[in-house]
Structure 1
Amino acid sequence: MRNRYLDLLRFLAILRVVTYHVTGYATLTLVFPAMAVMFALAGSLMAASLDRTGVPAVARRLRRLLPSLWVLAAVFVPAMLLTGLPFSPKVLLWLFPISDPPANYWGGLALSPIWYLRDYLWFVLASPLALWLFRRAPLPTVAAPYALLAAIEFGVLLNPPTVLREFGLYFGAWLLGFAHHDGLLRRMRNRVLLPLAGVLAAAGGAWIVTHPGPRGYDINDIPLGNALWATAFILVAIGRAPTGAAWVDRFPAFGRAVTVVNRRALTVYLWHMPFVVALTPLVGLVGWSTTDPVGLWVRVGLVLALVGVVTLLVGWVEDVAARRTPELVPGKPRRSAAERAADAPASPAPAGAAGGLVGAAARAPAPRRSPDGSADPLSGRLR
């Protein structure tokens, strides 16, 4: 059974990502470090899949991940090739992005969220070995990505590959997902978990304040501060996750929205940025500045509406990839067997019946009497 609290976290993370990309508000990255939370939730699901099916879970996870990317590529790669993108073997990276696939001048921004799939793919491939190591040495395994990131940030490792840097930044969150799945975070006592989260938040906050990036305190520009701050957030938000959040479904519209976004998370993530880029020039045309709150929130609404349209058109691909029955809008309440039986049409009465349904006992022939007045036990049998 799904934990609706974790569904709610993923729902909020996706909305935060879309809102941030439209508004650019750096504060949102501090209030809710969405990308790290999404990787932690994905790590927990990956550990569960490995426990169920072993190494074949890797192929299953990739099967669920890649088709939505291929749909996006089928639309945008030809458009980029027609507008200046040179055709080369690297274009094939759009089929399996173990490295950043090529893009032209406009596609580089509109399709920038592809980095998430690149990292996700590498983390999935590394998960069988990482889970094996984690269960034998949890603390050293979790600490390793943070040590790697510190070595990069302090100049011990010079010019590291992008993928290696991303392992340092986000693989720790993925491993915390392992810890959540195995119940290690839940078993940590509050007197250990909460002070640890406080120390990490203080260290991350201090690093962020003293090392602002080009956009100020946007943690996307401050990797070490991002990792520390997000880890503290995950320890509390996921480490103390309740077993459920039944109240979500007490509000049918809200519960349905949470379900839809969870079932279409990849579609929403991949398609929202092209609309953000396309709508940005329209701000000036209608007389709004790029910092006008009204204009920004109108753009948020427009982006969500356009993403909703695309989700209706191609979101069902996520159902096919997951081998579910395709749905235009997921989350339709399913009736119980008793409810379906109650609504089933009644069988028509036999010809000649007085009316309505006739019970089987009422239609059984009366037993014949033997000469001595007793009932004949064979006379009522069907022939």
Structure 2
Amino acid sequence: MRNRYLDLLRFLAIVRVVTYHVTGYATLTLVFPAMAVMFALAGSLMAASLDRTGLPAVGRRLRRLLPSLWVLAAVFVPAMLLTGLPLTPKVLLWLFPISDPPANYWGGLALSPIWYLRDYLWFVLASPLVLWLFRRAPLPTLAAPYVLLVAIELGVLADPPTVLREFGLYFGAWLLGFAHHDGLLRRMRNRVLLPVAGLLGTAGLAWIATHPGPRGYDINDIHLGNALWSAAFILVAIGRAPTGAAWVDRVPALGRAVTVVNRRALTVYLWHMPFVVALTPLVGLVGWSPRDPVGLWLRVGLVFVLVGVVTLLVGWVEDRAARRTPELVPGRPRRSAADRAAAAPASPAPAGAEGALVGAGVRVPAPRRDGERVLEGARWLSGR
């Protein structure tokens, strides 16, 4: 049984990511640290999959992750090869992005969200061992990514590999997902959880305020502040998650939107940035500046419309990857076999059926003559 509250969080995270990439509003990253929330939810699901099927869960998770990337690569890699990308063995990283796959000058920006799949891939591969460690030493395992990030930010680990930095930045959120799945966050009393969240949040905001990045207080540029503030947000938003949110489905439009975005989250995430990049100069041609409110929100609307179109075209790949029946638009109510049988038109009994029923010991009422039917109708009309 799905928890609609967690579905709602994922829906809000995806919408926030797309809106941020169009508008560039740094405040959005503070109000809702979407990427950390997405990693925490993914970590919880990964722990559940490992508990259910063991090591084969890694293969299943990769099977659900990679096909949508391959569809994107089938469109953009040939386009990049035709516009200056050298054909080298590194191009094969588009099949399995264990490291950043190569891109040309425009592809590097349009396909920049690929880093999320790279991190996700590493986290999935590490999960069986780390979940084993987490259940034997929860606090040291959970603290390890944050200690690693502090060491990097303070220069103790100079010039670390990108993947190692990303483990420090986002793997803590993934581990908080483990803690959510195992019920550790739920069992923490408020007098413990809330002060810890307050301490982490205060430390994160203090670091953000004193270490602004090139875009000001955009937490994507302030790694330690991002990790601490996101941990505080996850402790409250997911650690105190209700068991459900039935009210979401009481508003049909909202319930359907939450379902569609959850079923098509990877497609929306992968395809939105090319439209953001393409529309920015096009909107400028009509005379609106990049920061003009009308042009800005027009781009937001157009990006969502175009993402909706491409989701209709290729979103079904996510259904195939998850071994679901492909749907053009997910979330359509499905009738059960009993509902379909009840709605089916009744057929008249075949000739000779009454004799068969009597032979089986079933009482069949004798047919009435036309005169009896008329008399019965007259009595009904007279109120008798």
| Same fold? TM cut 0.5 | yes
Structure 2 Cα separation of the partners of residues 363 and 328 of structure 1: 49
| Counterpart in the other structure of 2:380 | none
Which amino acid letter does the alignment assign opposite residue 200 of structure 1? L
1:373 aligns with: none
Cα drift, residue 286 of structure 1: 1.3
CA shift, 1:337, in A, is: 3.6
Aligned to 1:16: 16
Cross-structure match for 2:164: 164
**2:323 aligned partner, one-letter code:** R
Residue 205 of structure 1 pairs with residue 200 of structure 2 = no
Describe how 1:313-328 pairs up with structure 2 within 5 A. Answer: 313-328=313-328
What displacement does 1:338 show? 3.3
In the aligned structure 1, how far is the partner of 2:99 from the partner of 2:256? 36
**Is the contact made by 1:263 and 1:330 (CA closer than 8 Å) also made in structure 2?**
yes
Instruction: Indicate the residue corresponding to 2:176 in structure 1.
Output: 176
Question: Do the aligned partners of residues 362 and 173 (structure 1) sit closer, same or farther apart at CA in structure 2, a change above 3 Å counting?
Answer: same
Deviations 1:7-49 (A, max 9, x none): 0000000000000000000000000000000000000000000
Residue 76 of structure 1 aligns with an amino acid whose one-letter code is F
Asked if 1:127 corresponds to 2:161, the answer is no
**Residue 339, structure 1, aligned to residue 327, structure 2:** no
Q: Which has the higher helix share?
A: 2
Offset at residue 121 of structure 1 (A): 0.1
The root-mean-square deviation of aligned C-alpha atoms, in Å, is: 1.8
SS in structure 2 at match of 1:280: helix
Which residue pairs with 2:105 in the alignment? 105
In structure 2, distance between residues paired with 1:236 and 1:125: 28
Deviations 1:296-316 (A, max 9, x none): 111111000000000000000
2:149 corresponds to? 149
* Amino acid across the alignment from 1:235: L
In structure 1, the partner of 2:187 is: 187
In 2, the alpha carbon distance for the partners of 1:353 and 1:239 equals: 63
Residue identity opposite 2:312 in structure 1: L
Amino acid at match of 1:15: V
* 1:54-106 C-alpha deviation (Å, 9 max, x unpaired): 01100000000000000000000000000000000000000000000000000
Give the aligned partner of residue 378 of structure 1: none
Q: Could you tell me which amino acid in structure 1 is paired with residue 250 of structure 2?
A: R
Which residue identity is paired with 1:20? Y
Task: State the secondary structure of the residue aligned to 2:132.
Answer: helix
- Show the 5 A alignment for 1:58-97: 58-97=58-97
Cα deviation for residue 362 of structure 1 reads 5.0
Alignment of 1:235-274 (within 5 A): 235-274=235-274
Per-residue deviation, 1:359: 12
Question: Corresponding residue for 1:379?
Answer: none
**What is the CA distance between 1:349 and its match in structure 2?**
2.6
Mapping 1:286-301, distance limit 5 Å? 286-301=286-301
Q: Deviations over 1:250-294 (max 9, x none)?
A: 011110110000000000000000000000001211111111112
Alpha-carbon distance between aligned partners in 1 of 2:358 and 2:258, rounded to the nearest angstrom: 48
Q: 1:238 to 1:358 in 2, by over 3 A?
A: farther
Distance 1:334 1:31 in 2: 37
Question: Could you tell me which residue of structure 2 aligns to residue 2 of structure 1?
Answer: 2
Q: Map 1:296-375 onto structure 2 (within 5 A).
A: 296-351=296-351, 361-362=362-363
Q: Secondary structure at the match of 1:130?
A: helix
Show the counterpart of 2:53.
53
For 2:162 and 2:352, locate their aligned partners in 1 and report how far apart those are by CA, in whole Å: 82
Q: Deviations over 1:121-170 (max 9, x none)?
A: 00000000000000000000000000000000000001100000000000
CA distance in 2, matches of 1:59, 1:283: 43
8 Å contact 1:349–1:358 — kept in the other structure? no
- What amino acid is aligned across from residue 209 of structure 2 in structure 1? V
Alpha-carbon spacing, 1:359–1:237, altered in 2? closer, same or farther (3 Å): farther
Identity, in percent, stands at 90
- The letter for the 1-side match of 2:234 is I
Q: What residue identity is the alignment partner of 1:93?
A: L
Tell me what 2:369 maps to.
none
With the length of structure 1 as denominator, give the TM-score of the two structures.
Answer: 0.92
CA separation of 1:345/1:296 partners in 2, compared to 1, >3 Å: closer, same or farther?
Answer: same
Q: Which amino acid aligns with 2:23?
A: T
Q: Are residues 343 and 359 of structure 1, via their aligned partners in 2, closer, same or farther at CA, if it must alter by over 3 Å?
A: farther
Q: Look up the match of 2:215.
A: 215
Once the two structures are superposed, residues 199-247 of structure 1 have per-residue CA deviations (whole angstroms, 9 ceiling, x without a partner) of 1110000000000000000000000000000000000000000000000
The size of the alignment, in residue pairs, is: 363
State the alpha-carbon separation in 2 of the partners of residues 34 and 45 from structure 1.
17
Shift of 1:358: 11
d(CA) in 2 for partners of 1:261 and 1:336?
Answer: 24
Residue 364 of structure 1 deviates from its aligned partner by 9.6
